[in-house]
Amino acid sequence: MKIGKGELFVKRVFEIINELKIPLIDERVYDKVKINAAEAIANVIFKFEEDESVIRGFLGLAEYFHTVIIKREDKFFVPHDNMLFILENV
């Protein structure tokens, strides 16, 4: 069985989240999640293109802001005040 690029991305993000011990909220925890990116002052998008430093930089924001990571489908979000940081696989 071959694992797709998207699945490898999600798996690697989970591994680093566990390594850094950052709280994660995902489909196992919530029934529905609504992220309203339109109300944020700024949306900062991190695009993963096989460079793990992008994942680590994104997750470092959650550590710095002492917040959680929210996973919805194959995207990860770090909410902070009126800003929304988004990590997606290209």
Q: Are 33 and 53 in contact (CB under 8 A)?
A: no
pLDDT band at 65 (very low <50, low <70, confident <90, very high): very high
β-partners of residue 72 are: 75
pLDDT value of position 5: 76
Q: Which helix (H) or strand (E) holds 17?
A: helix 5-20
Q: pLDDT tens digits for 11-53? A: 999 999 999 999 999 888 887 778 888 888 999 999 999 889 9
Q: Which residue has the higher pLDDT, 40 or 76?
A: 76
